[in-house]
Amino acid sequence: MIVDIFSLKKTTKGGCIMKTLFKKLTGTVMVVLMTTGLWANMASAAGLLKPVSGSASLVQMKSHEVNVTINNGFAKTEVDQIFVNTGNVDVEAVYSFPVPRQASLSEVSLWIDGQEVVGEVMEKQQAKKVYNEQKAKGNDTALAEKNSYKTFDVRVSPVRAGRDTRIRLVYYQPVEIDLNIGRYVYHLEEGGFDKNQNAFWSVDDVVNETFNFNLKLKSAYPVKNVRVPDYEQQAVITKTTSKENNMGEVYDVHLSFPEGSTLSKDIVFYYRLKDTTPARVELVPYRDGEDGSFMVVVTPGGALERISEGTDWTFVLDVSGSMSGEKIYTLGEGVAKVINKMSPEDRFRVITFSSGAQDFSRGYRQATKGNIIKMAKNIKNLKTGGSTALFAGLEMAYKGMDHDRTTGIILVTDGVANDGPSKDMDIIELHRKYDVRLFTFVIGNSANRPLLDRLAKDSGGFAMDISCSDDIIGRILQAKAKIRHECLYNTELKFSGAKVKNLTPVYLGNLYKGQQVVVFGQYDEPGNVEIKLTGRIGGEQKTWTCRAILPENDTDNPEIERLWALSAINDVMAVIQEKGARKDLRGKVVKLGTDYSLVTDYTSMVVVKEIEMENMEIERKNADRVAKERRAQKAKQAQAVKNYRVDNQTSNPGQANQNTQQKASNKNTFKGFSAPNIGSGPVGPLFVWGAYWLQRRKKRKTG
């Protein structure tokens, strides 16, 4: 077999985004023709790769179509693409795209003999064996695997000479509202290559044919504004308002990129609900048989108080080689703006790390005008280079804290620890020695998100993704505002009444003002359920309750089952991160992955001909599930936007005949929750999403 490797060009100034575009394939998906030997080197990359001296590929992307629907608390992303092998030899292809946050890759379809064939999920080694056997026979086949937290990789064999090959991918993910602002990202960026890899490979960021991106937002609540940063001149946005009960709005966003376009930014979509949107509890159920599933979303209001005392802020900034160019410039601008917004009672310190750590500010500085001007200038001139000694950066930050001051640490990085102690448990154990809030900001698409999320959650802080298409200045300012107010400590969401089981995530942590609580669960029997949110504010226990009904039958949202399974898998993977991949833990992930047809660290999706599936007696679980989901999605297209609010609704999903009971049971629902106070104005770069409590607890003895 003759194999060509695709071309990539170098990004400007080593910039924020390694443009991951294969001819047609605009960044989020890359196509790579490979040999077994080369694949090991290429797997961690998020671009279309070829040796610098290699020849141009004969495989070209004919079309790349993306369709996104945001509705009822989750997003469906569908990527449909056709590429053609213009040569005279069949080849094998691999393309990859970054793993979106909390995303479940649930469909991989390959068109074989003009018919769509949906892939089925198996244990990872078993799926690879089936793929290799089919490849050896010369049969059309595909294999989707997860490469840890980095990428989903899809192999296709063969890409037949002179013919089109069509692939379709679908993934689901929760979409959370933060102080009335929702955010969705379609990834066109690569997080950053290491310097050796960057010297060997080049990046092609030119789309040779058109690429279309379509997004539909369906909101049960009035939308104040929408925004697509970096694409505001190109985006065609239309709005439709539901006439039924004057409730519900639909926004359609369309982006079309002509032949020869250069794509270098993620597509980020923001939507902002009107300021009058209430605090609320929403329950989205699914039941079509014995067991039901549900998603509960609690959106608190803004009743938390501001802290008046001065605060110490330590910024721990990644200045390794992958942060060069636009990333470090924008980060410098952002941190400088945050320092400019500090109160005179505050102090700040800046730690930088690459191959080692440096106290860039030489200790804490009072937030006086002179100190702020000087430090802002110095930060904007930060230089990059070297590897990523995350352990050293955090260690220096922790050891320099003042015991008598309220303290917060903001870590900003785009990469993976690769210098000094770099195993996850090395950094987790270091973090456990110190009782301080850590807030992590992940830039780009290749950082170790599971580790950074874990560090933030364990400390009672929060993690925030930052795309280079976000306003990094605004995102950091959001965090500073949040942690200047109270938060709800040790949040729990409890259910009583109906037979609710298997709640996930297991641990919620602290709830910051404006953030949502999103919990998935299952239930055996329909009926009334009491939902109780508890936590502590300033040492005082707080409780809010409401009642809802888990319906006997509701088939509108079958995707809830996959989202429940994905959240349950994430809980198990968190244990594996700490305790290792024990056989019983791996078995839990495999069972959840195969039962609910999800690509995980230990399960993969394989596509083979229908007749081959019959011969191998492969159960068509995913084909049946996909058919059910597509029927529900088609039915919803013609329906008005549905409101799933249960805390003071006059009706409840699937149980309209119990309106009176529902209204009476929620007479004093969630007393104390108020509508978010987020001010007015359009969605812009400096969102003030609310503020949150930060209180540094006493540092534990480490000796």
Residues 366-380 have pLDDT tens digits of: 988 888 888 888 887
Q: What are phi and psi of 135, to 5 degrees?
A: -60, -40
Q: Are strands 74-85 and 164-174 parallel, antiparallel or unpaired?
A: antiparallel
Query: 517 falls in which pLDDT band (50, 70, 90)?
Result: confident
Q: Are strands 527-537 and 211-219 parallel, antiparallel or unpaired?
A: unpaired
DSSP H or E segment with residue 621: helix 621-637
Do 485 and 307 touch, CB atoms closer than 8 A?
yes
Confidence check: pLDDT of 21 > 60: no
Q: What global pTM score does this model have?
A: 0.79
Cα separation, 171 vs 388, whole angstroms:
31
Q: What is the pLDDT of residue 474?
A: 55
Do 484 and 691 touch, CB atoms closer than 8 A?
yes
Q: What are phi and psi of 211, to 5 degrees?
A: -130, 130
Query: 500 falls in which pLDDT band (50, 70, 90)?
Result: very high
Grouping H, G, I as helix, E, B as strand and the rest as coil, residue 656 is: helix
Do 35 and 62 touch, CB atoms closer than 8 A?
no
Mean of all residue pLDDT scores within the chain: 76
Q: What is the pLDDT of residue 369?
A: 86
Signed CA dihedral, 84, 87, 91, 92: sign only: negative
DSSP 451-480: HHHHHHHHTT--EEEE-TTS-HHHHHHHHH
- 514: left (phi > 0), else alpha (psi -120 to 50), else beta? left
Percent of all residues in the chain with a pLDDT value above 90, rounded to a whole number = 35
Which tens digits make up the pLDDT trace of 610-646?
999 999 999 999 999 999 999 999 998 878 888 999 9
Q: What is the pLDDT of residue 479?
A: 63
**How many other β-carbons are positioned within 10 Å of the β-carbon of residue 496?**
12
Which tokens hold the place of 93? 């292809």
Confidence check: pLDDT of 93 > 50: yes
- Burial of residue 42 (CB within 10 Å: 0-12, 13-18, 19+) is buried
Which tokens hold the place of 568? 């349950």
Do 176 and 182 touch, CB atoms closer than 8 A?
yes
Q: Which residues contact 37 (CB under 8 A, 6 or more apart)?
A: none
Cα separation, 439 vs 410, whole angstroms:
5
Q: Are strands 211-219 and 59-71 parallel, antiparallel or unpaired?
A: parallel
Do 521 and 296 touch, CB atoms closer than 8 A?
yes
Equal fold, 277-304+487-593+641-665 vs 311-482 = no
Which tokens hold the place of 356? 């080692």
Do 20 and 189 touch, CB atoms closer than 8 A?
yes
Query: 142 falls in which pLDDT band (50, 70, 90)?
Result: very high
Cα separation, 404 vs 395, whole angstroms:
19
Tokens 């929408």 locate to 226
Query: 296 falls in which pLDDT band (50, 70, 90)?
Result: very high
Q: What is the pLDDT of residue 615?
A: 94
Sheet holding 164-174, edge to edge: 115-118, 104-112, 164-174, 74-85, 59-71, 211-219, 249-257, 236-241
Confidence check: pLDDT of 358 > 90: yes
Do 391 and 316 touch, CB atoms closer than 8 A?
no
Q: Which amino acid is at 375?
A: M
Which tokens hold the place of 168? 């379709």
Do 569 and 450 touch, CB atoms closer than 8 A?
no
Confidence check: pLDDT of 24 > 50: no
3-state helix, strand, coil in the chain (%, to 5): 25, 35, 40
- pLDDT, average across residues 283-287: 95
Confidence check: pLDDT of 361 > 90: yes
Do 77 and 267 touch, CB atoms closer than 8 A?
no
Do 334 and 350 touch, CB atoms closer than 8 A?
no
**How many other β-carbons are positioned within 10 Å of the β-carbon of residue 694?**
26
Confidence check: pLDDT of 574 > 70: yes
Which tokens hold the place of 417? 């620890």
Q: What is the pLDDT of residue 541?
A: 85
Q: What is the pLDDT of residue 106?
A: 92
Cα separation, 165 vs 360, whole angstroms:
53
DSSP H or E segment with residue 566: helix 559-579
Q: Which residues contact 160 (CB under 8 A, 6 or more apart)?
A: 85, 90
Cα separation, 436 vs 433, whole angstroms:
9
CA angle in degrees (0–180, nearest 5) for 35-40-42: 85
Query: 483 falls in which pLDDT band (50, 70, 90)?
Result: low
Q: Which residues contact 390 (CB under 8 A, 6 or more apart)?
A: 318, 353, 413, 417, 422, 427
DSSP 203-253: ---B-SS-EEEEEEEEESS-EEEEE-TT-TTT-EEEEEE--GGG--EEEEE
Q: What is the pLDDT of residue 557?
A: 95
**How many other β-carbons are positioned within 10 Å of the β-carbon of residue 347?**
21
Q: How far apart are the first and last CA of the chain?
A: 61
Question: Facing residues of 530 across strands?
Answer: 496, 547
Do 29 and 64 touch, CB atoms closer than 8 A?
yes
- Strands of 319-374, DSSP E: 347-353, 357-359, 365-366
Domain ranges of the chain: 277-304+487-593+641-665, 311-482
Q: What is the CATH number of domain 277-304+487-593+641-665?
A: 2.60.40.1230
Q: What is the CATH number of domain 311-482?
A: 3.40.50.410
- Burial of residue 43 (CB within 10 Å: 0-12, 13-18, 19+) is middle
Do 167 and 156 touch, CB atoms closer than 8 A?
yes
Bigger pLDDT: 657 or 259?
259
Cα separation, 281 vs 279, whole angstroms:
7
Cα separation, 106 vs 185, whole angstroms:
18
